[in-house]
Amino acid sequence: MTDQLIEELLAGKHRALARTITKIENRSPGYRELVSQLHEHTGDADVIGVTGSPGAGKSTLVDKLAESYREQGLTVGVIAIDPSSPFTGGAVLGDRIRMASNTGDMDVFFRSMSARGSLGGLSTATTDAVKALDAFGKDKIIIETVGAGQNEVDIVRTADTVAVLVPPGSGDDVQMLKAGILEIADLFVVNKADLDGADRTVQELKEMVEMRRNEVAVATGHHGAMEAETAETTSTASDESQSWTPPIVETVAKTGDGIGDLIDVLEDHADYLVESGQLEAKARSRYAAEIRTLLREDASELLASEIDARGGIDGFVDRVLDRKTDPYTIADEVLDPIEECVRDQRD
């Protein structure tokens, strides 16, 4: 069944793509083999992350982006990360209509997925779903997150380019960006730029980006903005091909204004990643994080199984409470035979 599903997916059958992502999201039997076989067919899609505070207009912007890419003849896959239902673990907003402009277009594949308890974070299932869309042959894959502030940093592990949306007049949001999310942004989008406060928000973002740039320059030993103009020019010129300063794009997603400029900046960043070697560096970092995550998950399951085989955690806790042993000794008891097996296999 797995071989047939992969064959149909690679042949461009959307039903097979939908079934594959369902299998991945539900962690159904055989999903790991499925993802493993898909891996060799990945690596061609541009993966774009769209994140930011609630109310910034992410869904509307993603809709317009997809529409514009289709006008260029490109195929699009969209994964929207929604809050998890406390009852089912599924996406609570999954049934809403969020891609109005592209309804009925088979070359825009939309899937709403659950954050699985990690608000704003991307689950391993989402990473695997991106692989499925990539193997299917989608040119552009857009990941839209639920929008929960600094937790959105998880998106960096999956997206090549991260766009952070900031609504106009959102001083609190800009302060939140200063707290950390600034570092994940490859570009900023001030959406709803026709509203009052947009100019101020753009200016605040420019100041923040410049401040961050100066901090990096000082940390790397380069000249800061307060030094002589000639020194700064020389430093900027020498770093221009190696560094990227997040641009700020103004859009009105509802009308489509600024979407063309946004696409141009996204393309510029994609070119920069290739020319600077950062695309490969990001891939290496992403795979390293994925391997570590899978190892932690698998090791956790293995240990849970071993604890159950030894009578369950309550028995260990009883011994600790009776002062017959301690948590460190318990951990050693459980891990020692596993470590011995690992050493034997390594030798």
Q: What is the pLDDT of residues 141-165, one digit of tens each?
A: 999 987 655 456 677 678 999 999 8
What value does the mean pLDDT take over residues 295-317? 94
Question: Left, alpha or beta for 324 (phi > 0: left; psi -120 to 50: alpha)?
Answer: alpha
C-alpha closest to that of 192 among 296, 56, 326: 56
Which residue type sits at 98? R
Q: What's the pLDDT score for residue 338?
A: 92
> Could you give the CA distance from residue 233 to residue 72 in angstroms, rounded to a whole number?
38
Residue 50 CB partners (closer than 8 Å, separation 6+) = 58, 61, 62, 65, 142, 143, 144, 145, 163, 165
69-94: b (≥16 Cβ within 10 Å) or e = bbeeeebbbbbbbbbbeeeeeebbee
Residue 122 DSSP code: P
Residue 178 DSSP code: H
Tokens of 289: 């994080």
Tokens of 10: 């690679």
For the chain, the average pLDDT equals 83
235 pLDDT more than 60: no
Partnered with residue 50 across adjacent β-strands are: 144, 163
CA atoms within 13 A on the CB side of 31: 19
Choose the weakest-confidence range: 41-55, 73-87, 184-198, 288-302. Answer: 73-87
Q: What is the pLDDT of residues 25-37, one digit of tens each?
A: 888 999 999 999 9
114 pLDDT more than 90: no
182 pLDDT more than 90: no
Which residue type sits at 126? T
271 pLDDT more than 70: yes
Question: C-alpha 230: how far from its chain's center?
Answer: 39
Q: What DSSP string describes 264-329?
A: HHHHHHHHHHHHHTHHHHHHHHHHHHHHHHHHHHHHHHHHHHHHHHTT-HHHHHHHHHTTSS-HHH
Residue 256 CB partners (closer than 8 Å, separation 6+) = 64, 67, 68
> Could you give the CA distance from residue 182 to residue 164 in angstroms, rounded to a whole number?
8
216 pLDDT more than 50: yes
Other CB atoms within 10 Å distance of the CB of residue 345: 7
